[in-house]
């Protein structure tokens, strides 16, 4: 289902952030260029932000640009293909016009900031913002939270209010940090906002009472006094140390460029599994960590993406299994690659909340049954879902597919299907113009749950060959 964007509310949000076309922006760097120097406080309208993709480029930076526009509700004809083509530039212009940015067709700094393509600025432990503050430092905190998968209600508006307090508490709870709901030093380091870890407070050593008995110089005839009991030493309080997570949040796995205790945990786990991480467990997700992940993935027969994806995190035992969480598991990824998806669970869709995951893929890509089951419902060109299906397991758990271009002729209510069987083709029917599959998971026939971990566990967006049919 296409994410709807209400231009008026976005413009209001931009105004709160100081993102009018002529406004200056904080000194930042674009994600694509880790080595680029910081951009100036304001950039000419016809100048791309440092390191941003430009017309004609291809690759991951363009994919991030396209995905950022799609998840903000802007239609990209042909889907996310990693090519900065005239289609991508047209969508970029439409987005800039809708949200009140200067229409340049270029990823200039205000546009990159709106799309979340900027890396947050570095802070220092003695200048961390607090409740009531506003400005660039607060914006950096909010964007860092968003980059780590935590929703900040109202977005990064550069104002440290209730929304930021709640978001900080959520992040601290996920990472096993003390839930202070303030930007303390440990939280700032975990978010990658400061480069230096907070000092570890160690209790002063306590001398044990001596229990040694002086040996007499020579035997004496007089009786020896009865020994006096030595009182046991009082227990010493354990030194206060920063909490270190032992597992990761399935919806906030560390990413390239992140600095946190979660990254340190990943690195140490790789080392414990016999994989070299050049530089050791330094808490910085850089080239060394990417290479180490790729080596581990290759050794386990996983997709060597060099990223900490869900299957890799499971293989490293960094996240609990879906089974242990009581979450349904699927045997087959529902869409033929090349494709992409992000977690948009419970994002606003006008008066509704998004209850699925949108898997972006070209029109005509094959759609598969994710489990053995029975087709219990079929939708033919419904106003909202377009062509859709409901696939139900024996325990009542069902999976809802929407926006298919075509449904296979034999896929009708009552049809029994096998995991991996072709159900139809990807499309943009119903309330959308972007080819994608809207996919929902309803355990035992009840309310929908976040399906992102379910599909991420079997992610096959890199597999473009059609599956052999069961």
Same domain, yes or no: 285 and 380:
no
Average pLDDT over residues 180-192: 87
Same domain, yes or no: 134 and 108:
no
Same domain, yes or no: 149 and 104:
no
How far apart, in whole angstroms, are the C-alpha atoms of residue 131 and residue 164?
8
Summary mean pLDDT of the chain: 79
Q: Is residue 327 part of a domain?
A: no
CA 443 from centre of chain: 23
HSE, side-chain direction, 13 A CA sphere, residue 340: 17
Which range, of 114-118, 227-231, 408-412, averages the lowest pLDDT? 227-231
At 198, is the pLDDT very low, low, confident or very high (cuts 50, 70, 90)? Answer: confident
CATH of residue 133's domain is: 1.10.101.10
Same domain, yes or no: 12 and 115:
yes
- Return the pLDDT at 211: 47
Range of the domain at 14: 7-119
Measured on CA atoms in the order 7, 10, 16, 19, is the torsion positive or negative?
Answer: negative
At 81, is the pLDDT very low, low, confident or very high (cuts 50, 70, 90)? Answer: confident
- Return the pLDDT at 167: 87
Same domain, yes or no: 83 and 138:
no
5 burial level (CB within 10 Å; 0-12, 13-18, 19+): middle
Contacts of 58 (CB under 8 A, 6+ apart): 82, 83, 84
Q: Is the pLDDT of residue 236 over 80?
A: no
Phi and psi at 402, nearest 5°, equal -135, 160
Measured on CA atoms in the order 369, 375, 381, 385, is the torsion positive or negative?
Answer: negative
CATH of residue 375's domain is: 2.70.70.10
- Coil, strand, or helix at residue 399? strand
Average pLDDT over residues 169-181: 83
Q: Is residue 220 part of a domain?
A: no
Q: Is the pLDDT of residue 166 over 90?
A: no
The tally of domains found in the chain comes to 4
At 335, is the pLDDT very low, low, confident or very high (cuts 50, 70, 90)? Answer: very high
- pLDDT tens digits, residue range 16-42? 333 333 333 333 334 333 323 333 334
Same domain, yes or no: 87 and 161:
no
Q: Is the pLDDT of residue 232 over 80?
A: no
At 139, is the pLDDT very low, low, confident or very high (cuts 50, 70, 90)? Answer: confident
CB-based contact 417:373 (threshold 8 Å)? yes
At 240, is the pLDDT very low, low, confident or very high (cuts 50, 70, 90)? Answer: very low
- Return the pLDDT at 41: 37
Q: Is the pLDDT of residue 140 over 60?
A: yes
Q: Is residue 320 part of a domain?
A: no
Q: Is residue 285 part of a domain?
A: yes
Helices vs strands, H then E, count in the chain: 11, 13
- Return the pLDDT at 121: 67
CB-based contact 152:222 (threshold 8 Å)? no
pTM of the shown model? 0.47
Q: Is the pLDDT of residue 186 over 50?
A: yes
How far apart, in whole angstroms, are the C-alpha atoms of residue 417 and residue 419?
7
Is the pLDDT higher at 108 or at 46?
108
Average pLDDT over residues 176-199: 83
Average pLDDT over residues 397-425: 96
Q: Is the pLDDT of residue 470 over 50?
A: yes
Percent with pLDDT over 90 in the chain: 37
């Amino acid at each position: 289902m296409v994410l709807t964007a209400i231009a008026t509310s976005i413009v209001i949000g931009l105004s709160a952030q100081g993102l009018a076309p002529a406004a200056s922006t904080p000194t930042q760097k674009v994600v694509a260029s880790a080595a680029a120097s910081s951009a100036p406080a304001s950039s000419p309208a016809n100048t791309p932000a440092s390191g941003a993709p430009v017309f004609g480029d291809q690759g991951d930076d363009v994919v991030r640009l396209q995905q950022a526009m799609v998840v903000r509700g802007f239609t990209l004809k042909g889907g996310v293909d990693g090519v900065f083509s005239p289609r991508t530039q047209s969508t970029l212009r439409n987005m800039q016009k809708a949200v009140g940015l200067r229409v340049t067709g270029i990823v200039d700094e205000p546009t990159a900031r709106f799309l979340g393509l900027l890396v947050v600025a570095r802070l220092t432990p003695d200048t961390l913002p607090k409740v009531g503050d506003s400005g660039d430092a607060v914006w950096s905190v909010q964007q860092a939270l968003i980059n780590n998968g935590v929703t900040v209600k109202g977005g990064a508006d550069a104002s440290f209010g209730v929304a930021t307090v709640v978001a900080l508490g959520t992040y601290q709870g996920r990472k096993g940090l003390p839930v202070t709901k303030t930007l303390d030093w440990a939280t700032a380091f975990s978010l990658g906002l400061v480069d230096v870890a907070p000092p570890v407070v160690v209790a002063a050593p306590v001398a044990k009472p001596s229990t040694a008995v002086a040996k007499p110089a020579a035997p004496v005839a007089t009786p020896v006094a009865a020994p006096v009991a030595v009182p046991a030493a009082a227990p010493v309080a354990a030194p206060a140390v920063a909490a270190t997570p032992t597992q990761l949040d399935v919806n906030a796995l560390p990413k390239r460029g992140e600095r946190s205790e979660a990254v340190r945990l990943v690195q140490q786990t790789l080392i414990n599994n016999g994989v070299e991480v050049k530089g050791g467990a330094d808490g910085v997700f850089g080239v060394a960590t990417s290479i180490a992940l790729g080596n581990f993935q290759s050794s386990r027969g996983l997709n060597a993406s060099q990223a900490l994806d869900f299957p890799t995190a499971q293989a490293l035992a960094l996240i609990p299994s879906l089974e242990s969480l009581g979450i349904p598991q699927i045997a087959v990824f529902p869409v033929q690659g090349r494709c992409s998806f992000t977690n948009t669970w419970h994002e606003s869709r006008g008066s509704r909340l998004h209850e699925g995951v949108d898997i972006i893929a070209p029109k005509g890509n094959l759609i598969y049954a994710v489990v053995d089951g029975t087709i219990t419902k079929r939708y033919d060109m419904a106003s909202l879902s377009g062509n859709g299906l409901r696939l139900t397991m024996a325990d009542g758990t069902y999976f809802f597919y929407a926006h298919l271009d075509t449904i296979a002729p034999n896929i009708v209510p009552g049809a029994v299907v096998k995991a991996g069987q072709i159900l139809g083709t990807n499309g943009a029917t119903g309330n959308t113009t972007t080819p994608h599959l809207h996919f929902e998971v309803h355990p035992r026939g009840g309310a929908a749950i976040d399906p992102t971990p379910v599909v991420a566990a079997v992610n096959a967006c890199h597999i473009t060959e059609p599956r052999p049919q069961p």
